[in-house]
Amino acid sequence: MKPKRRAMVLAASYVLCAGPFCARIVLADASANSVTAAAAGPTAGASQGRRVRSNDPNLRSSSVLVLDQTHSSVLYSRRADVAMPIASITKLMTALVVLGAAQPLDERIEITRDDLRGGKGSHSRLAAGTALTRGELIHLALMSSENRAAHALGRSFPGGVPAFVQAMNAQATLLGMIHTRFVDPAGLSSENVASSQDLSKLVIAASENPTIREYSTDKAFAVRAGRHTIDFRNTDSLVSNPAWNIIVQKTGYITEAGKCLVMQAVIEGRTVVIVLLDSFGKYTRVADAKRIKKWVEATLNEGLLHEG
């Protein structure tokens, strides 16, 4: 399937609440996929809106945000305003910036030695000299968290990686991500930081892009590298779980960040954004996501989530 050259975003607005504070998010620029945010301060929606009165979901991640996007309310929050390393969650912003710049997705880009210099955790199956299209690189960066693919996307941006990182931070500011800072396009640096609140805004913005939705939730993808075919699989096992309806997702891991997972999914007919940062152990982030899904389903079925 040939990648779409440009993604369009419909104008819309919603309110993001965490604790007593709300922010109105406006999808303002349909062509550039940009988002603006204005802090609204304490509101009646925050103090009297929909509340969850069931038991704590017993999550193990250090920072958590569960947002009912359908009704603009926070269902669960833990240290959601604390900036933390986000590892490869970074690649959602990388894709958003590349697609927003409308660079040709069919242009071929060669992996170079510069893309191999990733430091610790920079695992990749793309050897120097491999040439893939920009669309294929985005696909691999989102689906299988390919680090060299992400770096090549930044390197091939006008002005190179420095200009690309500047564009990433500018987009973060535009999204209202006030606790966010990027220093590289792959997320290998622990200096790439954001709060769970900030990442919920990034997930929502990414979900408006059909290319990101398709690539991030694809189960598998194969590319030709010279005479060989390399098969890649999604780093998030939940995309293959028929019990889940995931719209967009991204995993991340470096030692400093722990295991991370962000997603937008439909649960009980509602669009729910889940952000999990610094999960310990190999399976904790997936287990936490499953606990959240079960908790939200039980909460809604019991009628414990109701209007103010």
Question: Do 88 and 189 meet the contact criterion of CB atoms below 8 Å apart?
Answer: no
Name, in order, each residue with C-beta under 8 angstroms of 25's C-beta and a sequence gap of 6 or more: 13, 14, 15, 16, 35, 36, 37, 175, 176, 201, 204
Q: Is 216 helix (H, G, I), strand (E, B) or coil?
A: helix
CA distance 220 to 215: 9
Phi, psi of 296 (to 5 degrees): -65, -45
Catalytically active residues are 88, 91, 145
How many other CB atoms sit within 10 Å of the CB of residue 109? 19
Q: Which helix (H) or strand (E) holds 166?
A: helix 160-174
Task: Give how far Cα 154 sits from Cα of 122, 267, 295, Å.
Answer: 15, 35, 39
- Which of 143, 277, 153, 145 lies closest to 212, judged by CA? 143
